[in-house]
Chain A
Amino acid sequence: MTVTSNSKLFRFLSSIVEYISDLVSECGYIVLFLIKSVKAVFQSPYRYQEILKHIEFIGVQSLLIIALTSAFTGMAMSFQIFLGFQLVNATNLVGPTVGLGIMRELGPVLTGLIVAARAGGAMAARLGTMRVTEQIDALEVMGIDPIQYLVGPRVLAALISMPLLCGFFDFVAMSGSYMLCVHALGLDEGIFFDKIQLWLNPRDINEGLIKAAVFGLVFGAVCTYKGYNTIGGAKGVGESTNKGVVNSMVLIIAINFVMTNIIRFVSTLMGGAN
């Protein structure tokens, strides 16, 4: 029994190690792919219309889902913090605490995860289908660079859309927090806003927006890379979509941790407050 459990545990651990090593070794290829696609976007012929089309898909079409998740996230977080802070009689600080959490961490991370799942998955599936049905080959033999036509505009659109969506997430989440704290839990409206103004800096908002832009690049590059390099038929498309979304999510969470530490470190070096 113990031997079986040990071998199961060993297999489980080795599968995690294998997944991480695969992801790390693939990161090099993804970075090269990203550089190539970004470079291609700024070469003639410029694909403004394609970029706008993908901004509409990644950005505008994500607004509803972002609005719903951010409103409930803001309210749930406010309620939990309110309950905790009530014990130490510090409910006045609910607003800024929620604000800091949302703007620095939850806003960019949740926006990244939601958009990676919705738009990233769709991008990987679309490119994967185009690959297995020879549509990408058709573009290439027509003398059209598929990286420039298909990949570059998607990556750039993700980069542009993500900070905008993150800003929207922050706004709706804080609106949710305001509605709950002021109109349901009875916090004073003036104190709620005053404390937010006192404790939150524009720097906190910028931090979230920068993170969101990086996450846009991450899921844009990972999902397009996976889709573009799909092999096999329908099964291959399913696999590349799955891997594109899962890898993007893991990378977003891992990169968020690294970026948080780097920003805190730089902020300390520059003499700013944490």
Chain B
Amino acid sequence: MNAVELKDIRKSFDGGNEFILKGLNLKIPKGSLTVIIGYSGTGKSVMLKHILGLIKPTSGQVNVFGQDLWQMTNKDIMKLRTNIGVLFQHAALFDDQNVIENVTFPLIEHLKGKKHKEYIEIASKKLIISGIEEKHFLKLPSELSGGMRKRVALARALALDPEILIYDEPTTGLDPILTEMVDDLILETHMREEGRVTSIIVSHDLMAAFRIGQYIVMLDKGKVLHSGKPEDFLKSDIALVKKFVEKGTKKKYGL
């Protein structure tokens, strides 16, 4: 079964003159870890917003867990989103809430009927598995380092035990050590709940894609240029894919 299926998605923001997505077809199997790569402006973020139901396609169909998003009511889309956790590029933590409040926030909103202590307990567990020690729980996001903010954001994304985890450029702007740490965290999180959680990572980082991705999808000019396992990617004859591989990973790993 596919967790996400995009069928012939076309998207134009200016009434049909210029299309950002030009008939994009993509299937993401349930339980997989898929990395979506591509140059800037190829439509990765727009595609992500389609999966989240934040943007309506000009034409085509977006299925999440077999349900056509745009046949659902707004209320049902909101409910479906509680089953999707998102880690944003810059963490997007609520800056007026401390670490623990950021993680309890979605719990209080969606898990009704629990005592405040229970929310704290769930949030603490999520923070600890994301690598945040208890001494940081009462700090504001502005008091945390970039890597720690990402960890807190991951804990928040995990709070409601979603079945789809989306990472939007999770390592952009981080140094190589933090980049590797975040990649490891993504992999650990996926492995911990293997089979149940579908992870979708949008990234520029080819090395990370090869290191953690089970499937790699490359977008170009609003379409899927190539998709498959990392080894298929290395064997691809498509010129642009070859260029990507040569420049990004082959040299680094001596493949």
Contact = CB atoms under 8 A, between A and B. Distances in A.
A133 B94 CA distance: 9
Interface string A111-147: 0000000000000000001000111011011111100
A137 B92 CA distance: 8
A177 to B, nearest CB: 41
B25 interface: no
Contact of B90 (A45, A133, A143): A133
A141 B54 contact: yes
A41 B92 CA distance: 24
Interface string B70-102: 000000001111101010111011110000000
Given A141-B84, A142-B82, A143-B79, A133 B92 contact: yes
B106 interface: yes
Contacts of B95: 129, 133, 135
B81 A142 contact: yes
A143 B88 contact: no
A134 B92 CA distance: 5
A129 B109 CA distance: 22
Interface residues of A, number: 13
A62 to B, nearest CB: 20
B117 to A, nearest CB: 19
Contacts, number: 47
A138 B92 contact: yes
B90 A141 contact: no
Contact of A143 (B92, B93, B109): B109
Interface in B17-76: 52, 54
B252 interface: no
B110 interface: yes
Given A133-B90, A135-B94, A142 B54 contact: no
B94 A143 contact: no
A141 B105 CA distance: 13
Nearest to A136: B92
Interface in B195-253: none
Contacts of B89: 134
Contacts of A45: 109
Contacts of B84: 141
Interface string A13-26: 00000000000000
Given A133-B95, A134-B90, A144 B54 contact: no
Interface string A128-169: 010001110110111111000000000000000000000000
Q: Which of A129, A134, A145 has the most CB of B within 10 A?
A: A134
Nearest to A132: B90
Contacts of B78: 143-145
Contacts of A138: 86, 88, 92-94
A93 B121 CA distance: 68
A144 B107 CA distance: 12
Given A134-B88, A134-B89, A141 B81 contact: yes
